[in-house]
Structures are given as structure tokens and as C-alpha cells.
Chains A and B, each alone.
Chain A
Amino acid sequence: MQANLFEQQAANRKRTAVLVLVFLLFFAWVGFGGDLVLGLWTAESAGYRHAFPWFGIVTVSAAVGLTIYSWKRGAKEVLWSTGAWELIEPASENERMLVNVVEEMAIASGQRVPTIWIVPDPDPNAFATGTDPERAHVAVTEGLLALLPRNELQAVIAHEMAHVRNYDVKLMTLLAALAGVLALIADGTWRMIRYGRVRGSVGRGGAASRGGKKGAGPLIVILLIVWVVCVVLAPLVSRILAFAVSRKREFLADATAAQFTRDPMSLANALRRIEDAAEPTKAIKRGSAHLCIADPLGRRLNHRQGFVADLMASHPPMGVRVARLKAMAFKYEQTGVLADVD
């Protein structure tokens, strides 16, 4: 079991590395691809020749800088956008219980106690965020605190701590940061293309097309089209990617949570209870939906299975999650072995 957890962490580290690489390559393609198109375009012209890849260098360094910045700021940003407040000194019995439960789960998972936040929202939900396990944050809504009995609250916190422990939180924060920068770049390029086209047609007229060789013409056009399509579609693809990663991680976090509490049934019950309180969590915005234990947007998509649901839902269908947990609980009772069932 322990080994399994470490394997999961290693797999997530690898995933993180691949993700960073893919995004870096993409940023490079957006930048240097632009250089290439412009270079070919102006290769034969008498005036300005685009020889030095300024776009590439500027885009990549700006993208890396922005990503690092928003990765560092990410956790705080998410918490801030939900209006959460930090629970330092528990005032009520429920808050005392929450602090106790989080500390218990920190022991069970062998990690440092995360910072605890309370989101002022009557809908039951919870999420974890942070850049690494040493600086993790766990947030629950007031609705969750009021709704769940102790053992189910424990199961939910265990699920969040599992996300922290499996390095999901780190991966998701990074993914969110990268996707944000990508959206920014796509938006910027889109504006530049439109602005550039207007300027180009008025100013230089057909100079560029006259300058290009006949053979190079179609190549440039194809390159340009591919480049524009890439830039425009990137944000959508990155969102689909984020959801795909998130859905995979939910199952694993459920299983890991059961290993922490040795009580899969409580998590199944908690999920049911959260599901039944069907109100969308208003305090949690679209951008951080994939961090939550249940989809805060209350979308019907998450209840279905199928292609579109597979592509665009941030969480696996609740029914499937509950069924898997119940199967785990049954097997645990029968054999005393806690294993994930497929």
C-alpha cells in the first residue's frame, strides 16, 4: 500500500514534468512559429527582414515568467476568489471538530497539518490547493461543516489530504497556471493578428505578397493557418486536459482516502449527502472547479457517462464513485484487505 502511494507520487511527478515540457514546446511553437512565418514572409522583401527570432524569445521567457508567478500565487488566488477565511482559533464546537479531524488526517497520511480555511457558502463542498505538501491548504464550506457527521467529515478531509499526498494539488495548481498563461497568449495573439491585418492592408498593401516567391506562398499560408488554429484552440485543449487529469485523480483520491480512514463507507455516504444537496456552490468559480470534492457548478454533465461527458466533466459520475467505494467497503469487510476495485 505504502509502495503504491509512492508509485503514485512518482507517476504524478513524471506527469508534471511531461506537462511542463508539452506546454513549453507549445509556447516555443507559438513564439518561434510566428518568427518562422514572418521570416519566410519577409525573406525576399527589400525592406525589413525578420531574421532574429524575437517573438520566440520574448514569448517563451514571458510565458515562463508568468507561469512561475501564477504558480506561486495560484493557491492564494483560488482561496481569495472564494472569499475563504483562515481558521486559526476554533470558536465553535464544529470548528474545533474540523481542526481535530484535519490533524487526525495529517497523522494518518504522515504529513504536515495544512492550513485550514472556511468558505462562507451554505452548499457543502471542499477543496485542497497549494504548491506542495509542505504548504497545502484545505478549505471546506460552512454548509459542509453543518451537514456532515464527524466520520463523514473525516472521510471528506481524508479525500482532500489524499490529493495533497498524491501530489495532485501541485499538478493541478501548475496546470491551472499554465492554462491561464496559455489563454493570455492566445488572446494576445488573436488581437495582434486582427490588428496586424488591418494595419497591413492599409499600410503596406500587397507588398509582402509581391515579395514572396511563388513556391513559398502556399507553404506560408498553410503554416500560418496551422499556427493560428493552434493558438486559438489551445485554451480549449488545455481545459479538456485539466478535466481529464482531474477525473483520473478523483478515483485515486477516493481510494487513498479510504486507506487513510480504513472506512470507505463513510466517504460513500458523505458523497451521497453532498450530492443530494444539489445547489451549486456559488462561492467557487469555474476556474477552480476541478479542485473540489464535488463539482461546484452543479452541472448535469457529471452524472452522465459518454463521450462529451468524458471530455468536459471535471469529476467522474458520482454514482460510479459511490459504487466503487461501496465495493471497497464490502471487500474490506469480507477479506480485511483494502484494495481499489476496478
Chain B
Amino acid sequence: MFMTWVFVILIAAALLWALSAYNKLISLKGQTLNAWKQIDVQLKRRHDLIPNLVEAVKGAMEFERDTLEAVIQARNQAVKIQADALPTGGVKALAGAEAALSSALSRLNVVVERYPDLKATKNVTQLQEELTTTENRVSFARQLYNDTATTYNIRQQQVPWNLVAGFAKAELVELWEITDDTEREVPKVDLSMKSK
């Protein structure tokens, strides 16, 4: 009789644990997807901003067609890849495309620096602040996504959580890793023209 009760209590405890573990995994999954959505929003913002930027500097930069062309190309490529990227697949490709866009943009910025008149335009100043904040937003969204995704990945593989992972339909998600070496070197773009 005693043993039966012990058995029943043990089973009940195990069930309770499984329930809470299941819920925890579901909530982590939700957080990960949410963080991914945030990246999506910020990338879209970035992609929408670029045509404006190009439009604003085009007139004064007739001689730099190549640089502008490269930015537009990289942007279009990134938009195409973004359309079907998900945490469970395609993160790497998107990260690559965005890195390419980043380096094209930083080349453009180097060029813009050579045109003092252009830099003095109010419109361009505003766009540069826009660009800075957008770049920061992308990188912070990426940071949040990577942190959340890492927690999610570790948790669903740990014993005994992995027993519940199947029920919660938990899958490993890809991290947004920086593939490009130049990108790794310059993680911050500071274009604000405030004196330091």
C-alpha cells in the first residue's frame, strides 16, 4: 500500500514537471519567434530607407555610379532572401546578404565623406541619423535574437528537457552569425556629426 502511494506521488510529480517544462519550452519558442520578427521589422526598415538615401545623394555623386549601383544591388538581393528566411532555415543566407549590404553601405559612406557640400545638406544629415539608428536597430535586434535563440537551443537539448522537446515541437534554430570578416571588425557605425 505504502509503495503504491509513493509510486503515485512520483508519477504525479513527474507529470507536473513535464507540464511546466513543456510550457517553458513553448514560451521560449515564442520569445525566439518574437525576436526574429523584430529583426524582420528592422531589416525591412533598413531596406526601405536605402532608396531614399540613394535618391538624396544621386545628384551630387554622378561620378560614383558604381558605388550606388552596388548598394542597390545588395539591397535588392537582401530583400529577395529575406522573403523566405525563417529561424529554422535561411538565417545564414540572410546574414550573408545583409553583411554584403552593410559593406556596400559603408563604402558609400566613405564616398559621402568626400563631398562636404552634400554632407551639409539637411536632408542628408537626417538620412545619416536614420541610417545610424537603423544599423543599430538591426544589430540590437540581432543581439536579442541570438541571446534568446541560444537559450532556446541549449534548453531543448539539455537532459531531461530533451524528453519534452518533441511534444513541444521544439526545433533547433539558426543563430545569426557574422560571416564576413570586415563586418566583424567594424560592428558599429557612428555617423552622428556631434563633436566628441
Chain A residues in the interface with B (C-beta under 8 A): 1-3, 93, 96-97, 100-101, 103-105, 107-110, 149-151, 154, 260, 262-263
Closest beta carbon of chain A to B63's beta carbon, Å: 29
The answer to whether A262 touches B194 (Cβ under 8 A) is no
Which residues on the B side are within 8 Å of A108 (C-beta)? 140, 143-144
The answer to whether A2 touches B192 (Cβ under 8 A) is no
Closest beta carbon of chain A to B133's beta carbon, Å: 4
The answer to whether B137 touches A104 (Cβ under 8 A) is yes
> Counting CB contacts under 8 A, is B129 at the interface?
yes
Which residues on the A side are within 8 Å of B103 (C-beta)? none
The answer to whether B143 touches A93 (Cβ under 8 A) is no
The answer to whether A96 touches B129 (Cβ under 8 A) is yes
In the complex, which of the residues A1, A2, A101, A154 has the most CB atoms of chain B within 10 Å of its own CB atom?
Answer: A2
Q: What range describes how many residues of B lie at the interface?
A: 20 to 34
Taking A2-B148, A104-B137, A154-B136 as known contacts, 5 extra A-B pairs with beta carbons closer than 8 A to each other, sorted by chain A number, are A104-B136, A108-B143, A110-B34, A149-B194, A149-B196
Closest beta carbon of chain A to B1's beta carbon, Å: 40
Q: Which of A1, A2, A101, A110 contacts B133 (CB 8 A)?
A: A101
* A106 to B, closest residue via Cβ: B140
The answer to whether B190 touches A96 (Cβ under 8 A) is no
* A146 to B, closest residue via Cβ: B194
Closest beta carbon of chain A to B154's beta carbon, Å: 10
Which residues on the A side are within 8 Å of B148 (C-beta)? 2, 110
Which residues on the A side are within 8 Å of B125 (C-beta)? 93
* A150 to B, closest residue via Cβ: B192
Closest beta carbon of chain B to A157's beta carbon, Å: 12
In the bound complex, CA of A105 to CA of B141 (Å):
10
Knowing A93-B129, A149-B194, A150-B190, say if A107 contacts B147 (CB, 8 Å). no
Knowing A2-B151, A100-B133, say if A107 contacts B144 (CB, 8 Å). yes
The answer to whether B137 touches A96 (Cβ under 8 A) is no
